[in-house]
Amino acid sequence: MARVTPSGEILGATIEDLDLSQPLSSTDTALILASLGRYGVLRFPGQNLDAGQQKAFAGRFGTLEVNVAAGPYTVAPHKEIMILSNIVENGRAIGLGDAGQGWHTDMSYSADIAFANVLYAIKVPKRNGEPLGTTEFANMHAAYEELPAAIKTRLADATALHDFAKFWDMMRARPGSTRPPLTEAQRRQKPPVSHPVFLTHPITHRKVLYCNPGYAIRINGFDPAESEEILDLLFAHQLQPKYRYQHRWSEGDVLMWENIGTLHNAIADYGPDEPRLIHRCQVMADKVLDPGFVKRTLQGTAAT
């Protein structure tokens, strides 16, 4: 029987005795969904998955996205599996080397938002025996709850505009970046979209702060100076250390986190001679935004 061990921090838990290469039972699916709501970030250690098995696991929770930036960096023929890696073979990068390096929420730039990420660590860079490439998270349930009451009232019905190009261009501006400019086709594929600043989480039914520094560019309905002031306040608030959690990778880890109630940031503290290889699935929120799916899935859960 699967065991859930909380990290004891503001986010995070480990689920052991669960082989993700095998089909999930309804009990295990319920346990994972409830645990995502409670802990935000879940580690499944010691996994051994092929691309098809990773897709089958992730697909239990929603439709899998084909990333607009993946280009050639997918595991053929599984275009839903994106390769994150700094490895170069025969003069060619095998994966996207700078993915996720900056605080953001995946797919907030899309009209159809994401629910969860499923990352499988195949190679983890190490130095002096210590793992590198930590992934940080921030808890947006807690960030919302501790906002001043005046801000909650002021932004209760506000929306923010999110733009895919903001994060992409920010990464291109970093020293040594090899990211090409977005093509016009890519920009047309992902035009800016608006979402409420505060969302109701589909599992916990509590409010979260859904406005992140990676993609949010404007608070709609406010003049530019006021919008910038509010965004600066929200970004500084949500990134306070008290809301953060760090995951230190081990090879064989599957890490699953939900994007509606968390932010994340990949720390690039490893060099080109310290190989990193991770396979990534993005689970859309089509299923979890259906109250019937959540209710049916959670019936009988024993999550603790």
Tokens in use for 187? 């920009």
* pTM for this entry: 0.93
* Cβ atoms 116, 256 nearer than 8 A: yes
pLDDT in 10s for each residue of the chain, 304 residues: 899 999 999 999 999 999 999 999 999 999 999 999 999 999 999 999 999 999 999 999 999 998 766 678 999 899 999 999 999 999 999 998 888 889 999 999 999 999 999 999 999 999 999 999 999 999 999 999 999 999 999 999 999 999 988 987 777 767 766 777 777 877 777 899 999 999 999 999 999 999 999 999 999 999 999 999 999 999 999 999 999 999 999 999 999 999 999 999 999 999 999 999 999 999 999 999 999 999 999 986 544 3
Give CA torsion, residues 284, 13, 202, 267, to 10 deg. Answer: -50
Report residue 249 as tokens. Answer: 């990778």
Length of the chain: 304
Q: Please give the structure tokens belonging to residue 184.
A: 């016009």
Q: Does domain 3-298 have CATH number 3.60.130.10?
A: yes
- C-alpha distances in angstroms, 122 versus 49, 100, 119, 208, 253? 9, 17, 10, 32, 8
CA distances in angstroms from 280 to 13, 31, 65, 190, 256, listed in the order given: 19, 22, 10, 20, 10
- The string of DSSP codes covering 8-38 is SSSS-EEEES--TTSPPPHHHHHHHHHHHHH
Residue ranges of domains in the chain: 3-298
Q: What distance in Å separates the CA atoms of residue 174 and residue 178, rounded to the nearest whole number?
A: 9
